[in-house]
């Protein structure tokens, strides 16, 4: 019987176990320019016992920034900063993928340089607020991307993927979930287009397919993962009947031979099983169960074949040695919500390991 603690070969990348550190925005790139800091180097190295680390979302371009103090992968300084992170993780025996992100309509002009405004598939504001240094603000109506804009954005994803490999990452994960730009193209309430980038199922999946194909061509499909959250209403998304669209999307990317598919916030295991019929590669699952943190009770999802790897978020945030704690059944540090987003190293670097 396969367990979460068994090694696995991920498209040619050997992983020590099947426990993944899920991508989590922490807003700690506080030194300016979206450059990873010394604290971020320590944070990721502390968690190198994960079979695979997927970093916090990193914007692929300046206009893609959705929150303050998030890192990027579109400038030489950012690449150099991430190189320090990947070197530290590799020195500790870990593997690490960069999550590539574009916030799309989730953002605000106060976060962006040079008079830029958030962009999206259609000029429809998200019915939610976004965090800024000046407090919570309503999301604004985004600039509708033109056909030329979309093609540029696709290339920016590919360029960020190349930057990630230059920075020493083992691979990249495309953030197609949680209401950000790729998800905005998929959802019928945020994509009202009638051209080839919307209107039909094939139109709405096109951006996700083109981004995935461009990234796979840039750095290799074996270095490319894709994260999706079918039906997740986060950030103002409405997907009342997600299965047909995501089935079409997975059928379209299946021939590429991606490193993995990462599903998150999908509590319906039957839907997961049906979607998996259309993707034969490894499945990373971020379990969802009424908002509780994933924990030891989810490990049987590996044993029964529901997933090939399990991603843990808040538990990894608070337990840098999570694989060891899961193997022992605990004890587990309690995540401190007040320090999730931004701040100093308190609630970031000071969660003790078992040895402590």
Active site residues: 180
As a whole number of angstroms, the distance between CA 154 and CA 104 comes to: 13
Q: Which residues in 65-166 belong to E strands, given as ranges?
A: 96-101, 119-120, 129-132, 135-138, 143-144
Contact 202, 208 (CB under 8 A): no
Classify strands 129-132 and 135-138 as parallel, antiparallel or unpaired: antiparallel
Segments in the chain forming alpha helices (H): 38-46, 76-91, 147-166, 181-186, 201-219, 243-253, 269-276, 300-303, 314-318, 322-328
In this structure, the strands spanning 171-175 and 224-228 are parallel
Scanning the structure block, which residue is given the tokens 């965090």? 131
Both tokens assigned to 75:
């400038």
DSSP 331: -
Residue 59's CB: how many other CB atoms inside 10 A?
A: 26
d(CA 186, CA 249): 9
**d(Cα 60, Cα 69) in Å, to the nearest integer?**
14
Q: Which tokens hold the place of 47?
A: 């968690």
Note whether 13 and 259 are within 8 A (CB). Answer: yes
Neighbours of 203 (CB within 10 A): 17
User: What SS3 state is found at 162?
Assistant: helix
């Amino acid at each position: 019987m396969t367990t979460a603690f068994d090694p696995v070969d991920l498209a040619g990348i050997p992983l020590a176990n099947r426990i993944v550190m899920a991508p989590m925005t922490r807003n700690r790139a506080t030194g300016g320019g979206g450059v990873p800091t010394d604290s971020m180097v320590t944070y990721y190295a502390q968690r190198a016992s994960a079979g695979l680390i997927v970093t916090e979302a990193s914007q692929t371009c300046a206009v893609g920034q959705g929150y303050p103090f998030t890192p990027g992968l579109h400038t030489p300084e950012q690449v150099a900063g991430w190189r320090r992170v990947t070197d530290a993780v590799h020195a500790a025996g870990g593997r690490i993928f960069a999550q590539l992100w574009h916030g799309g309509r989730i953002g605000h002009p106060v976060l962006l340089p040079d008079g830029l405004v958030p962009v999206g598939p259609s000029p429809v504001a998200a019915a939610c607020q976004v965090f800024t240094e000046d407090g919570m603000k309503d999301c604004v109506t985004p600039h509708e991307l033109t056909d030329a804009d979309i093609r540029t954005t696709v290339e920016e994803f590919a360029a960020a993927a190349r930057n990630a490999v230059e920075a020493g990452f083992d691979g990249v994960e495309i953030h197609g979930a949680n209401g950000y730009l790729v998800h905005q193209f998929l959802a019928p309430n945020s994509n009202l287009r009638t051209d080839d980038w919307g209107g039909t199922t094939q139109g709405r999946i096109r951006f996700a397919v083109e981004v995935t194909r461009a990234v796979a061509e840039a750095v290799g499909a074996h270095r490319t993962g894709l994260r999706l959250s079918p039906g997740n209403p986060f950030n103002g998304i409405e997907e009342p009947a997600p299965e047909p669209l995501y089935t079409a999307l997975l059928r379209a990317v299946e021939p590429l031979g991606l490193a993995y598919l990462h599903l998150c916030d999908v509590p319906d295991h039957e839907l997961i099983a049906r979607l998996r019929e259309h993707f034969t590669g490894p499945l990373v699952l971020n379990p969802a169960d009424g908002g509780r943190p994933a924990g030891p009770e989810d490990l049987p999802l590996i044993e029964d074949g529901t997933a090939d790897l399990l991603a843990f978020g808040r538990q990894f945030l608070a337990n840098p040695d999570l694989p060891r704690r899961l193997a022992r059944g605990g004890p587990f540090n309690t995540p401190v919500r007040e320090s999730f987003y931004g701040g100093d190293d308190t609630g970031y670097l000071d969660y003790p390991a078992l040895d402590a």
